[in-house]
């Protein structure tokens, strides 16, 4: 048995070295330089090639390199027997909560506006924003931490989820009509949804039309959940107050993308939460050992729902 690192968007040599130090007895190889493809039973993947399942036919477990699994979700060629897993790191949720809270507090205190006034060397007194009603889309492991952090800071939180939630300290709603009703009465809509068949382009013209004009959209989930053309239209027309975006359909964001120049759209380069590499190594190693000992794989992906 051996491990293959099938990571196509970056140099994974450092990851291979660290993982080899953690599992010194295991053969670990970087794709595409796999000397014995038939020996590979465990693969760490990110943006894998479509024919990888033919190249490495004996994979038992495919481990995503990150929390996102959309590269698995939309791959119809994954063999039925392959177990899928994703990275779940507690520090990611806390970082995400800090990012979202930071965006909201900057808006509440109008810090961006005062920074602009400093450049102009002219103060224009403005009262703090009062609205604190927040709709959190997706209240799984990360979304729940975000929601609770916002609650602790005085925000009125409602969650929207695929299934009924009975263990939360805040109200949760389900269904598209309930979503649209809640959007009409919220000051912030925070998207933490995964990229699945059900969520792709969910935030479209209909969604944005349901928002009130004071709604500020924050996307720290997946770029493909937003129809970017419709969002730009809504921001330009004043249908919503604006948006803060950390993820996009194409990353890095193209130089000529209109988001760069839109005054009421704030963008950051996918930095809301940065995974600690050592935590990734430990989860990869733990799941590999679990596979070899025929134990349960942690953080399995439910193929039927896509996360």
Q: Active site includes 86?
A: no
Higher-confidence residue of 113 and 89: namely: 113
Residue 80 lies in a domain: yes
Q: Examine the domain organization and report whether 121 and 243 are in the same domain.
A: yes
Given 16, 107, 222, 230, the catalytic residue: 222
Q: Examine the domain organization and report whether 111 and 260 are in the same domain.
A: yes
Running DSSP on this structure, what letter comes out for residue 128?
P
pLDDT value of residue 205: 99
pLDDT value of residue 129: 92
Residue 297 lies in a domain: no
Running DSSP on this structure, what letter comes out for residue 175?
S
**Which residues make Cβ contacts (< 8 Å) with residue 245, sequence separation at least 6?**
217, 218, 219, 223, 226, 259, 265, 266, 267, 268
Question: Can you say whether the dihedral through the CA atoms of 128, 268, 196, 151 is positive or negative?
Answer: negative
Q: Examine the domain organization and report whether 38 and 178 are in the same domain.
A: no
CA pair distance 190, 216, nearest whole angstrom = 8
pLDDT value of residue 191: 99
Residue 246 lies in a domain: yes
Tell me the CATH number at 122. Answer: 3.40.50.720
Mean pLDDT in the chain?
A: 96
- Residue-wise pLDDT for 36-45, tens only, equals 999 999 999 9
Question: Can you say whether the dihedral through the CA atoms of 92, 95, 100, 103 is positive or negative?
Answer: negative
User: What is the domain range of residue 288?
Assistant: 2-89+275-292
pLDDT higher than 90, residue 276: no
pLDDT value of residue 175: 96
Q: Active site includes 200?
A: no
pLDDT value of residue 85: 98
Write out the two tokens for 285: 């190693």
pLDDT value of residue 126: 84
Q: How far apart are the first and last CA of the chain?
A: 27
Write out the two tokens for 16: 């291979």
Q: Would you say 174 and 164 are in contact if contact means Cβ atoms under 8 Å apart?
A: yes
| Mean pLDDT computed over 163-177 | 94
pLDDT higher than 90, residue 245: yes
User: What residue has token string 């099938």?
Assistant: 6
Q: How many domains does the chain have?
A: 2
- Residue-wise pLDDT for 115-144, tens only, equals 999 999 999 988 899 899 999 999 999 999
**How confident is residue 161, by pLDDT bands cut at 50, 70 and 90?**
very high
Q: Examine the domain organization and report whether 18 and 76 are in the same domain.
A: yes
Q: Coil, strand, or helix at residue 184?
A: coil
Q: Examine the domain organization and report whether 28 and 126 are in the same domain.
A: no
Q: Examine the domain organization and report whether 116 and 263 are in the same domain.
A: yes
Q: Coil, strand, or helix at residue 134?
A: strand
Q: Would you say 3 and 27 are in contact if contact means Cβ atoms under 8 Å apart?
A: yes
Residue 107 lies in a domain: yes
CA pair distance 307, 305, nearest whole angstrom = 6
Question: What values do phi and psi take at 183, rounded to 5?
Answer: -60, -35
| Mean pLDDT computed over 225-235 | 99
pLDDT value of residue 281: 97
Whole-number Cα distances in Å, 203 to 12, 14, 72, 154: 34, 37, 22, 26
CA pair distance 243, 234, nearest whole angstrom = 10
Q: Examine the domain organization and report whether 61 and 198 are in the same domain.
A: no
Q: Would you say 211 and 230 are in contact if contact means Cβ atoms under 8 Å apart?
A: no
Question: What values do phi and psi take at 279, rounded to 5?
Answer: -65, -35
Q: Examine the domain organization and report whether 261 and 112 are in the same domain.
A: yes
pLDDT value of residue 90: 83
**How confident is residue 275, by pLDDT bands cut at 50, 70 and 90?**
confident
Taking the model in full, what pTM does it have?
0.92
What residues form DSSP beta bridges with 34?
none
- The DSSP bridge pattern shows strands 61-64 and 83-85 to be parallel
Higher-confidence residue of 166 and 286: namely: 286
- Residue-wise pLDDT for 50-76, tens only, equals 999 999 999 999 999 998 999 998 999
Q: Examine the domain organization and report whether 226 and 202 are in the same domain.
A: yes
Q: Examine the domain organization and report whether 104 and 115 are in the same domain.
A: yes
Q: Examine the domain organization and report whether 219 and 157 are in the same domain.
A: yes
What residues form DSSP beta bridges with 267?
245
| Mean pLDDT computed over 161-170 | 92
pLDDT value of residue 118: 96
Q: Examine the domain organization and report whether 99 and 186 are in the same domain.
A: yes
**How confident is residue 89, by pLDDT bands cut at 50, 70 and 90?**
confident
pLDDT value of residue 104: 98
Give percent of the chain with pLDDT exceeding 70. 100
pLDDT value of residue 123: 96
| Mean pLDDT computed over 90-118 | 96
């Amino acid at each position: 048995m051996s491990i293959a690192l099938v990571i196509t968007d970056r140099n994974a040599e450092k990851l291979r070295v660290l993982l080899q130090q953690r599992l010194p007895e295991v053969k670990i190889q970087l794709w595409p330089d796999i000397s014995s493809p038939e020996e590979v039973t465990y693969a760490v993947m990110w943006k894998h090639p479509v024919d990888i399942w033919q190249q490495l036919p004996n994979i038992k477990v495919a481990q995503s390199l990150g929390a996102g699994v959309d590269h698995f979700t939309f791959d119809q060629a994954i063999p039925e027997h392959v177990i899928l897993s994703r990275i779940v790191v507690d520090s990611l949720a806390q970082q995400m909560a800090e990012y979202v809270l930071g965006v909201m507090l900057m808006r509440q205190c109008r810090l961006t506006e005062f920074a602009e006034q400093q450049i102009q060397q002219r103060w224009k007194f403005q009262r703090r924003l009062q609205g604190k009603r927040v709709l959190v889309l997706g209240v799984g492991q990360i979304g729940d931490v975000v929601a609770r952090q916002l609650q602790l800071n005085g925000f009125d939180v409602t969650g929207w989820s695929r299934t009924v939630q009975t263990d939360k300290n805040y109200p949760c709603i389900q269904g598209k009509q309930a979503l649209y009703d809640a959007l009409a009465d919220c000051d912030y809509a925070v998207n933490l949804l995964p990229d699945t068949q059900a969520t792709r382009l969910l935030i479209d013209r209909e969604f944005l039309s349901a928002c009130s004009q004071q709604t500020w959209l924050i996307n720290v989930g997946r770029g493909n959940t937003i129809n970017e053309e419709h969002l730009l239209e809504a921001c330009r027309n004043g249908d919503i107050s604006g948006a803060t975006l950390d993820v996009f359909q194409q990353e890095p964001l193209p130089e000529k993308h209109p988001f760069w120049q839109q005054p009421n759209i704030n963008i950051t380069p996918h930095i809301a939460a940065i995974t600690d590499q050592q935590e990734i190594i430990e989860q990869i190693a733990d799941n590999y050992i679990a596979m070899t000992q025929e134990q349960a794989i942690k953080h399995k992906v439910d193929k039927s729902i896509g996360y």
